[in-house]
Structure 1
């Protein structure tokens, strides 16, 4: 038997539960794609996920069967048909998520023997429980990848104050943590949350591995690049100073209050180098309609809303921003880590951070002097930082911030570095 065939026979099998997977634009789906493909040299990998539907719609070709099998770049993918939903309709989202959850339980029996089961903390609570189910059904070792802690995230934004619901969620997710053979989370502050949950007693094995972005796919591009120019022309951003927010326009970012800060920068305001200041929101989410309504009510003509961009075009939209927001609502420290930072850093852009002191991304921004930071809720400081960026537009200070951010990412936060850590940790179980 050849060495190649022998390696294939000896490979361990790893099952990944991923609510979303490419071509969906969810950040975790993109991360899991790169993780799965990066680990193929060591594992045979199967992904159980939904049919492409992150924005709520489902193509006709995915509406005829319950399950669809694909192979994407060497990864076996088993997709589950789910109903369409609206991001602003809670019941339709719940129906969609539950269909995935129960469909994934059934799909587990369709993927054969597995040595490892890897599940992500999305959908909240259910992602962990799927990992436990896979561990039991496949007699496999369970790796629980916690990107967001719930119910802590729900509590942080007062999404629910029902003590029974909160208590049940906490009980179930702690159960998933206890059942895991390894918890991998994405920030120093998130490791502390695991320890707090268990009050330092019988804490499940936990390690931190940073998220990443492929620095070969997202990198600094000159402003005269034809596709950057085309993007600017399409959305009225030519010759403007662009303060950009790119990503999920959802509950956990305090964007509605930040709009009140943006409102203070009146349409027609110009930078020191003579460019008009505009604010571009790229993406979609549950509070988008609220932001649009506020813009129209206040006649904020310097605010522009732009749809999600295809992954191939993300490099050009990110490079259009002169400064990028990286924000979380108050209480999110130790609960969630905004992955959008990695795209900002890869594009070599300065950061307008609204993050709690001690949170992973704020620590990185401060350690590398990659931007200006303010506490969530301290809108006066946010306004001052925004003003400083406007007053220093086009200067070496802003450029140097972005360069330091990019340099640190290339040295310490690449896909290859993080994927290698994942393989090592899983193989050592």
Structure 2
């Protein structure tokens, strides 16, 4: 029997380094045994720059590892300028709507909450156009995320955004969220009214691609040597240097640890930021202004090299700004614990990532804004750098991931939730557990 056809609206998709693009690639390829899959996304452009080979046509048709991909051309953009980003996003939205006409015989439509609001509306459009079942995967709640970060304070626009996203939720056959705290946000949105059918499925990491390596591994050693990190004790932040992580205030905490700071076993302490984003330049400027010589900025790493860069750390940061609980889950946690390294968490009580850290005891965690405790936690790792407890923390995280957050575990849940959209049953609280 021919597999059902699943249409995915993805905004970013491989080879873009956006975390959602990488997750959707693994999800799509993992579901090929159950579905024929078409993805509608932008041409590779996460950095804002578009390669010459994607600048000639409005639409490009590709097949990546069995997944049909329709790419729409968008204008280049500057991440620091709102108008530039809005133009880019709106172009994707309208061209993706038109590209939907190029896809035939769709049984299921799946979209994520990126770009904000428009991702959900694209899914509704696809559902109506193709008379298909619609699954809305909310990776980030908006406008709640915008409100939490102060990106906009225009109440009229924020209310309109909330109305549209609730509209998308109402017209789904199922909403899938990626955190237990996000379930509560969905319920609050519809308090006193019918709540859309929903399910909770964690994001994941490919535990066969990201796994523990010794610091003596050739590739790990090469990464450390390339960036002058040999024989250092490294606190690493890896991922998007954006608005949602309170990194500017954390830099003020880091400033308390000057270049001459050493661990109990006499290693120099270094703070490494691997990635890029809208506030990178601000962080670099702060570093230069305050002569923070033990802070280093490193470009995004190719996915094939990600395991080596992550394993180069001694401790990983997992941070979110205050107000992000129930709105977004920092997926970087999964890659961090996949390496078997301990985590220094700055996460709200009850947030999904913090619940995982507390269940696994894979590191130290405190509330966002509690900068004195952040300071104490950094000092604990420095003073216990050669203790077995640090290694034990890392092992606990890896063991938990293999049982609960591995790729195949989550992909199987997605398949079940999508196929069940036509069934008449309610998702109950027990099913929400791991």
TM-score scaled by length of structure 2 = 0.96
Q: For residue 252 of structure 2, what is the aligned residue in structure 1?
A: 260
| Cross-structure match for 1:121 | 113
Residue in 1 that maps onto 2:178: 186
Choose from 364, 376, 387 the match for 2:368. 376
Looking at structure 1, the residues matched to 103 and 378 of structure 2 have their Cα atoms a distance apart, in angstroms, of 51
Aligned partners of 2:400 and 2:192: how far apart in 1?
Answer: 32
Q: Using the alignment, how far apart are the partners of 1:61 and 1:292 within structure 2? A: 32
Aligned with 1:218 (options 186, 203, 210): 210
2:430 matched to which residue of 1? none
Equivalences, count:
421
Mapped pair 1:13 → 2:5: yes
Offset at residue 136 of structure 1 (A):
0.6
**3-state SS of the aligned residue for 1:110?**
coil
Q: How far apart, in 2, do the equivalents of 1:181 and 1:61 lie?
A: 38
Partner of 1:426: 418
Cα separation, 2, equivalents of 1:237 and 1:390: 16
> 1:200 deviation in Å?
4.4
Aligned to 1:410: 402
- CA offsets 1:206-264 (integer angstroms, 9 cap, x no match): 11000001000000011111111111111111000000000000000000000000000
1:3 — aligned with what? none
Q: Measured at CA, do residues 200 and 355 of structure 1 come closer, stay the same or move farther in structure 2, by a change above 3 Å?
A: farther
Counterpart CA distance in 2 for 1:131 and 1:322 is 41
* SS at structure 2 position matched to 1:428: helix
SS of the residue 2:101 aligns to: helix
From 153, 157, 161, the equivalent of 1:169 is 161
1:18-417 to structure 2, matched below 5 A, reads 18-417=10-409
Once the two structures are superposed, what CA deviation does each residue of 1:330-355 show, in whole Å capped at 9, x if it has no partner? 00000000000000011111000000
- Cα deviation digits, residues 365-424 of structure 1 (max 9, x gap): 011100101100010111111110111112111111010000000011111111111111
2:364 partner SS: strand
| Deviations 1:83-127, CA, capped at 9 Å, x for gaps | 111211222111111111111000000011200000000000000
Q: Structure 1 unaligned segments of length 5 or more: list them.
A: 1-6
**Cα-Cα RMSD:** 0.7
Q: Which SS does the other structure have where 1:52 is aligned?
A: coil
Which residue does the alignment assign to 1:4? none
CA distance in 1, matches of 2:386, 2:151: 40
TM-score by length of 1: 0.97
Instruction: Write out the 4+ residue segments of structure 1 that deviate beyond 3 Å after TM superposition.
Output: none
> Whole-Å Cα distance in 2 between the matches of residues 30 and 331 of structure 1?
26
- State how far apart, in whole Å, the 1-side matches of 2:110 and 2:16 are: 19
